[in-house]
Amino acid sequence: MPGNKAVAYQGPGRVEVVDTDYPEFELKEGPGVPPANVGRKIGHGAIVKPVATNICGSDQHMVRGRTTAPPGLVLGHEITGEVVEVGPDVEVIKVGDLVSVPFNIACGRCRNCKVGDTHICERVNPEQPGGAYGYVDMGGWPGGQAEYVLVPYADWNLLRFPDKDQAMEKILDLAMLADIFPTGYHGCVSAGVTTGSTVYIAGAGPVGLAAACSARLLGAAVVIVGDLNKDRLAQAHTFGCETINVADGDPGEQIEHLIGAPVVDCGVDAVGFEAKGHGPAAEEAPATVLNTLMRVTRAGGRLGIPGLYVTGDPGATDEAAKEGSLSIRLGLGWAKAHAFVTGQCPVMRYHRQLMMAILNDRVRIADAVNPIVLPLDQAVRGYEEFDHGAAHKYVLDPHGMIPRTTRAF
């Protein structure tokens, strides 16, 4: 049996590549595993060898110490890989299949899964609805920034790529299907983006860039991306977005300068709870993005909020924010009859369609998010550079399987 190496959170500001156990078809006791999940048999699962496993901004929240994640938690919920073993109850997925793994873990059997709400599955996490790999309070399922990872309910969760050779040629695009492409797309769909829309996307990190790419795919007339990071704004500009630097002042005034009106049709929050204010000396102000979106979105408009908000933030700026209580101008949203869609993206609602768009050259999501490929043993470098605002999506390649012709370094 092979060994296994994985990226583990070791406390605020620290990640390490560690030796860990090769997966078995049973959920073992470990960091963050609820007692009711210990010993759970996974005959319906598969063991996947990651070809590409990405570093996510949500991982960074944990690594910064901004959640209640326990030390020792193996990270990684953006997984694309090859199936190397299947459990005795797996009927459809086969050894050798190249697959995308939705970051949501879902059973396919509960009430929520049956209506497509796979982001709030009722059976994979005994402590609250919803499960994910390598994430705080999400059921204790080990993450996939590793050489091998266990995927439960394999027939339901895994999206098999129809042509393995074609998929490997487009592997950096397909690697975005596990999370950020569907998440950005969900933010835009939730905000009502359609042909001719004007859209403001707060945040030019990978999810914001994926949302901007999605808005263009959906037919938006104008896509405006706002951020404090000049390099990330420059990246958004490379594929046709308008950009505003919120360090320069009020987004509404800048939006009016761009489109001749101070409001847009649709707003997307791709920042979340570590938001900063506006202006050159902006400090953390976690409700800033939500309040700004209400102000700059037209009356009757919709807000998609894929940006992460948490109920436990030890590093918050005040006691209320530590419990996820923010000073949101709900009265403004009510007065403007805004609709809000929050929560994790239900990846399975979109990933097959987005896969087809990639395979048939309708979209080049990798170009939009500017990936850099690193071996697993350089994961710490990826976390550090990403945390310092690099305008890249960091993709880990644990087995050296990503073709050099597709790589960006």
Summarize pLDDT for 220-231 with one digit per residue, the tens: 999 999 999 999
What was the pLDDT predicted at 161?
98
Beta carbons of 190 and 350 less than 8 angstroms apart = no
Exposed e or buried b for every residue in 114-139, given b needs 16+ CB within 10 A?
Answer: eeebbbbbbbbbeeeebbbbbbbbbb
Bridge partner residues of 26 (DSSP): 41
What was the pLDDT predicted at 404?
74
Residue with tokens 């263009």: 216
Topology of domain 4-179+346-406, CATH: Quinone Oxidoreductase; Chain A, domain 1 (3.90.180)
Confidence of residue 33 (pLDDT cuts 50, 70, 90): very high
What was the pLDDT predicted at 242?
98
Does the predicted model carry a pTM greater than 0.85? yes
Burial (CB count <10 Å: 0-12, 13-18, 19+), residue 213: buried
Confidence of residue 406 (pLDDT cuts 50, 70, 90): low
Task: Give dist(CA 389, CA 313) in Å, integer.
Answer: 21
For residue 97, pLDDT over 60 is answered with yes
Mean pLDDT of all residues in 103-125: 98
pLDDT in tens, 270-324: 999 999 988 888 889 999 999 999 999 999 999 999 999 999 999 998 899 999 9
pLDDT in tens, 237-281: 999 999 999 999 889 999 999 999 999 999 999 999 999 988 888
Give phi and psi for 356, each to the nearest 5.
-65, -35
Domain ranges of the chain: 4-179+346-406, 181-342
Q: What is the mean pLDDT of the chain?
A: 96
For residue 409, pLDDT over 60 is answered with no
Question: What percent of the chain is modeled with pLDDT above 90?
Answer: 93
The DSSP symbol for 70 reads: P
Please provide the distance, in angstroms rounded to a whole number, between the alpha carbons at the two ends of the chain. Answer: 32
Among residues 409, 406, 364, 360, the alpha carbon closest in space to that of 382 is found at 409
Confidence of residue 405 (pLDDT cuts 50, 70, 90): low
Confidence of residue 218 (pLDDT cuts 50, 70, 90): very high
More confident residue, 79 or 407: 79
Distances from the Cα of 357 to the Cαs of 32, 97, 362, 400, in angstroms? 37, 20, 5, 26
What was the pLDDT predicted at 318?
87
H-helix segments, 125-250: 154-157, 164-169, 171-174, 180-190, 206-217, 230-237
Task: Give dist(CA 20, CA 356) in Å, integer.
Answer: 36
The DSSP symbol for 304 reads: E
Instruction: Count the alpha carbons within 13 Å of 366 in the hemisphere toward its beta carbon.
Output: 21
Strand 149-151 relative to strand 159-160: parallel, antiparallel, unpaired? unpaired
Whether 4-179+346-406 and 181-342 share one fold: the answer is: no
Confidence of residue 3 (pLDDT cuts 50, 70, 90): confident
Q: CATH number of the domain at 181-342, out of 3.40.50.720, 3.40.190.10, 3.30.460.80, 3.30.420.40?
A: 3.40.50.720
CA 191 to chain centre: 17
Among residues 103, 122, 104, the alpha carbon closest in space to that of 114 is found at 122
For residue 18, pLDDT over 80 is answered with yes
Distances from the Cα of 239 to the Cαs of 63, 182, 234, in angstroms? 30, 18, 10
Question: What percent of the chain is modeled with pLDDT above 70?
Answer: 99
